[in-house]
A = this chain, B = another copy of it.
Amino acid sequence: MSRHSDTSADSGPSAGPESAQALAERAVESLYVRDRASQGLGMRIVEVAPGRASLRMIVRPDMVNGHKICHGGLVFTLADSAFAFSCNSHNDNTVAAAASIDFLAPSFEGDELTAVATELWRSGRSGLYEITVTNQRGERIALFRGRSHRISGTVL
């Protein structure tokens, strides 16, 4: 969350886009510090904006399956965390209702994966998010689409 400290220092009581940016950063930071799963898997936040989040994770030896490739579930988990951070960036408590993933290429121990989540659509309590997972060479590893459902309460 590279620009967190700078931006939040400026964002005080101002309205408009900067405020939405600061709110997104604070909401995601708050979720992240309580998210033991994402932290335990070594995910780092690269960027946050309203409806948008980018995460990075290195494929560790304990993330590899019996075919010697990164377990597809952990590729999904990285994308799912980026999905969660992007759909909670508006500060409304939001959970995943459904998701689908297409696996395009394998990834291997030592690869650094980046998941970029963008908001495709939001209406009422529902939202759709697209997450692209790439490796350190920019090759696409997986495409993920998530459907979110807003529940009661706020993140902060």
Contact = CB atoms under 8 A, between A and B. Distances in A.
Interface residues of A, number: 56
A32 interface: yes
B100 A32 contact: no
A44 interface: no
Given A30-B66, A95-B67, A126-B97, A37 B74 contact: yes
Interchain residue pairs A-B with the least CB separation, the first 4: A73-B77, A31-B66, A37-B71, A100-B100
14 contacts: A36-B65, A37-B74, A66-B155, A67-B93, A73-B74, A97-B103, A97-B147, A98-B98, A98-B101, A99-B100, A100-B100, A102-B121, A104-B123, A147-B147
Interface of A: 30-38, 40, 61-74, 76-81, 84, 88, 93, 95-106, 120-121, 123, 126, 128, 140, 143, 145, 147, 149, 155
